[in-house]
Structure 1
């Protein structure tokens, strides 16, 4: 049984458009972006306590 989630990652084709949609359509607070060179991705974070949503886009 799942009792908690740390985060949910969603792969997106356009990071900027997806950030705007999550803010505008879902009313989520945008926490920032981070490039993860080791994974060759750029990520955007939306806290949604007790978890968070992470949008992932390839670099």
Structure 2
């Protein structure tokens, strides 16, 4: 099942996509501040972004 399909099965979730990335699990290892900041904010506050997000390399 792809990430978009899984996102559709979990209506209260959010999908953070890194445009042009070719791997899964990029948080903390890929070095993208946009992705890392989104996840860090969630971990610190427990609040999801208002909508899905797409970050750029």
TM norm. shorter chain > 0.5: no
Scaled by the length of structure 2, the TM-score of the pair is 0.29
Q: Which has the higher helix share?
A: 2
Scaled by the length of structure 1, the TM-score of the pair is 0.28
Q: Which has the higher strand share?
A: 1
